[in-house]
Structure 1
Amino acid sequence: MDSDGQIIEWAAVGSDIGPLLLAATGKGLVRVVFHADAEVREKALRQLAARFGAPPVEAPESTRLAEPISRLAAYFAGELHEFALPLDWALTSGFNRQVLRELATGVPYGSVVGYGDLASRVRQPGAAQAVGAAMGANPLPIVVPCHRVVESDGGLGGFGGGLETKRRLLALEGVLPQPLF
């Protein structure tokens, strides 16, 4: 249950980058998990249960999840450039939340920002490493586009979903050439 005593609903969905786990509370989308095979799903669901005090309920037909599922499908089809979804920020706080909110609103589709530049935008110049930690702790990847944060020298930097996933997301957005498969 979330902080309002509501059940947390989840579903696993396919995507161009592999299975994703989506979880939502009554406030909005609360978690997106990459590479959501059975083992990864179970770990994520245990973490959500521990955080919210009750096990999430599998609900692939959930009205809470319908819009995020639809918008992710449109994103991967190249038809959606801005998610504009209700988000539940319960899994992040403090500096991380500040950085992620700036990222969500200030780094549009098809663009990238450096770790240091993002630190400066939240008035913490010199906190590039802390921005990197915030990206690694992002509970809402893709929707809060941590894949758009790169090194100032043009390197990709790290990525919780793996560098190949980051490359594919940036290629989808036209920042990098499409990978050859």
Structure 2
Amino acid sequence: MKLMKCIVGLGNPGLKYQKTRHNVGFMVIDQLAKRNKWTVSKHKFQSHCTIETVGNEQVILLKPQTYMNLSGESVKAVLDFYKLTPEQLLVIYDDLDLPVGKERLRQSGGHGGHNGIRSIIDQLGTKTFNRIRVGIDRPEFDVTVTDYVLGKFSKEQHLAIAESIDRSVAACEAWFNRSFLEVMNDFN
């Protein structure tokens, strides 16, 4: 059997959420697919997905359609079906604690209040899986966190988030051929 890796971008389904800060994981998956001329259109595992061959392994791109709070259900279904370990998983998601335009790669950690990551940790029973945290900054003034993450990036943030998405895509592509630790050392 070929080696496999699963790259998951977190977000919420539907046009209403399409360009929101909380959907930056979806944006990375979409850009990764676009750069490689792939289409993430299969409906399986409560997600939109595709399975592509890169070198000697298969890569699954996954956009859970369960809404953020239940993302772990989709991720667990894929890992169980293909008998993948958490080490074969990479999850991309938005992070309030990083400024827009910054990203951090980690191999484990808590959920940091992120409900999608909380769901994945709960479903998998481990905090150890690869992650790319994409900075979206914290809200200013009297904006609630919910309203902020479900809001769209400001005009001032567009260039920085586009560059961050591109760097995240490059990190995913680097992971096709190298260990995540090596990728982490290069991109952090």
- Shorter-chain TM-score category? under 0.3
User: Which structure has the larger Rg over C-alpha atoms?
Assistant: 1
Q: What TM-score comes out, normalization by structure 2 length?
A: 0.26
Q: What TM-score comes out, normalization by structure 1 length?
A: 0.27
Which structure ranks higher in relative contact order (CA pairs < 8 Å, sequence separation ≥ 6)? 2
Higher strand share: 2
